[in-house]
Amino acid sequence: TRVDKGGHKHFMAKEIAEQPMVISDLLQAYLSEDGHSIDLPEGGIDFNKIDRLTMVACGTAFYACLTAKYWFEQLAGIPVEVDIASEFRYREPPVAGRTTAVFVSQSGETADTLAALRYCEGRADSILSVVNVPESSIARESDLALPIYAGAEIGVASTKAFTCQLTVLLLLALKAAETKGRLSAEELTDKLSLLRGVPGAINQVLEADQTFRAATRLLAESDNALFLGRGLMFPLAYEGALKLKEISYIHAEAYASGELKHGPIALIDKKMPVVVMAPKDQLFDKTVSNMQEVMARGGKVLLITDREGAAEAGDGVCQSLIMPEIDPILTPILYALPAQLLAYHTAVAKGTDVDQPRNLAKSVTVE
């Protein structure tokens, strides 16, 4: 079937707009009819038999894995290692004990990820993949392949596949937490009902699209940008920087907020916009103090937060983008939207080829 832009200027815009729908479909596929439990496909995994997860991927899928590490460790108490496929495959890492290896790939054909999977065959207890293409090599060679139901993604810069990967990985972490007795049936039902609110919250963000467009002026005029985040926002800072460099060719770097003083603060001046992703969560105050260090040195801060966060952040922020309130564990899925929209509008403002950025390929099937 041919996929068209459905009235959008770019495939990327269409794919960003499709996220509420595809995430709803995904939840419908994975949740029981009453919405109280998570149904994994036949031959699912028994988290009581798993001591450790090794997650391997490339690009945006790697950042989905980094996010999942926080979820699996915090919710389920399962230690997680996350690796870039091209590093993992040649390092000869020991895959010890009761390890499940997890491979995340939109295409299911990325050469390095597939090679990493083959390395784990006969070493890991079981091989799980999270893919968008169920017929792909990675899906076929796994013991269990979990589809993300994102539909065809044409834009080279991944958008809806990322939020769908996150959603599937969060469902897995919640399932693990339930199995390990760290989440009661009521708590799980509660989390799942909050998760079902995500598509609505994404729609709210999409309705505020103009605000994001207006906010990109600062970025479009700059040669560099820094993205900062803490906790669950740390991997997302990476994803924001990746999106921006991929399609607008602006040099963007991401750092864990706490690393600011270990190097990147030397780069701060009036010409350095700093995107800070910080919902009002437990770590908010710490991120605010990093933000103040940036502002004290003339750095221009673009703060992505919620209403409460914006009120507490105080003066000096160049621009605040207000996000809907959402349960802290769900913030990565929602805050992926500003990461995508900032990059998209900046690229449009600069007139670059949004869907086919120079030198990049949608799927890297050769090394």
Query: Which stretches of the chain bind ligand G6P, using CB under 6 A?
Result: 58-61, 105-107, 110, 113, 156-158, 360, 362-364
350 catalytic? Reply is no
Shortest distance in whole angstroms from residue 151 CB to ligand G6P: 14
Contacts of 251 (CB under 8 A, 6+ apart): 223, 224, 225, 245
Active-site residue identified among 180, 286, 350, 362: 362
How far apart CA 56 and CA 158 sit, in angstroms, is 17
In the chain, the amino acid numbered 20 is P
Q: Given the complex with ligand G6P, which of 115 and 267 has the nearer CB atom?
A: 115
Shortest distance in whole angstroms from residue 353 CB to ligand G6P: 13
Shortest distance in whole angstroms from residue 346 CB to ligand G6P: 17
How far apart CA 240 and CA 63 sit, in angstroms, is 10
Q: Given the complex with ligand G6P, which of 105 and 331 has the nearer CB atom?
A: 105
Q: H-type helices in the chain, by residue range?
A: 11-17, 19-30, 59-71, 85-91, 111-120, 137-140, 160-179, 185-195, 198-207, 209-215, 217-220, 233-248, 284-296, 307-313, 331-350
Q: Given the complex with ligand G6P, which of 59 and 231 has the nearer CB atom?
A: 59
Local structure of residue 42 (DSSP, 8 states): T
Local structure of residue 33 (DSSP, 8 states): T
Shortest distance in whole angstroms from residue 129 CB to ligand G6P: 10
Neighbours of 207 (CB within 10 A): 9
Which is nearest to 206 in space by CA: 364, 8, 32?
8
Which is nearest to 321 in space by CA: 159, 171, 149, 205?
205
- DSSP lists the bridge partners of residue 130 as 104, 146
Q: Given the complex with ligand G6P, which of 294 and 339 has the nearer CB atom?
A: 339
How far apart CA 304 and CA 323 sit, in angstroms, is 7
Q: Given the complex with ligand G6P, which of 57 and 170 has the nearer CB atom?
A: 57
Tokens of 244: 């921006």
Q: Given the complex with ligand G6P, which of 63 and 212 has the nearer CB atom?
A: 63
- Is 33 exposed, middle or buried, given 0-12, 13-18 or 19+ CB atoms closer than 10 A? exposed
Residue nearest to ligand G6P (CB): 59
How far apart CA 345 and CA 25 sit, in angstroms, is 27
Shortest distance in whole angstroms from residue 216 CB to ligand G6P: 21
Q: Given the complex with ligand G6P, which of 106 and 320 has the nearer CB atom?
A: 106
Shortest distance in whole angstroms from residue 238 CB to ligand G6P: 12
Contacts of 219 (CB under 8 A, 6+ apart): 225, 244, 248, 250, 273, 275, 302, 342, 346
Shortest distance in whole angstroms from residue 209 CB to ligand G6P: 22
Contact assessment for residue 290 and residue 228, using Cβ atoms and an 8 Å cutoff: yes
Positions marked catalytic: 362
